[in-house]
Amino acid sequence: MTRKEKAIELHDKGFNCAQAVACAFAEETGIPEEILFAACEGFGLGMGGMAATCGAVSGAVMLAGLKNSCKNLEQPASKADTYKLTREITKTFLEKNGSLTCGELKGTETGKVLRSCPDCIRDAVEIAESILEL
């Protein structure tokens, strides 16, 4: 099963978009699926139902930090590189889909659907695989 298929399977089980994307990479991150699930819970429906930043994108961005962070609490030194990865993820998603906003993607704000949740999830997984080399 591909990561995209895994993410869609998780979404079909009731995971939100951020959870589906992040949890599809549990094995690669070495973080238990339950922890990724809990950490991403508030990002669903565009940040807790606010129709803001797409949850699938949020899940991919979370993966950027998990992969790239130096995890040094005394001397944090990896933020700039993680921000660069985040910009690449969001820029690529925006170019592909025309928005980073859940409400715009789903058409709740404009009446015109740009991308379905499953397609956003597939895109975010593909982008994470490519940019983060996971």
Tens digits of residue pLDDT in 78-94: 999 999 999 999 999 99
Place of tokens 């990724």: 36
**H-state helical runs in the chain:** 3-12, 17-23, 26-29, 33-40, 44-47, 55-68, 79-97, 102-106, 117-132
Judged by DSSP in three states, 28 sits in helix
Q: What is the pLDDT of residue 109?
A: 76
Q: Can you tell me the distance from the alpha carbon of 17 to that of 126, in angstroms, rounded to the nearest whole number?
A: 14
Residue 62 pLDDT grade (very low, low, confident, very high; cuts 50, 70, 90):
very high
Q: What percent of the chain has pLDDT over 90?
A: 96
Q: Can you tell me the distance from the alpha carbon of 132 to that of 69, in angstroms, rounded to the nearest whole number?
A: 12
Q: How many domains does the chain divide into?
A: 1
Domain residues for the domain of 27 are 3-132
pLDDT tens for each residue of 21-58: 999 999 999 999 999 999 999 999 999 989 999 999 99
Indicate the pTM of the whole model. 0.96
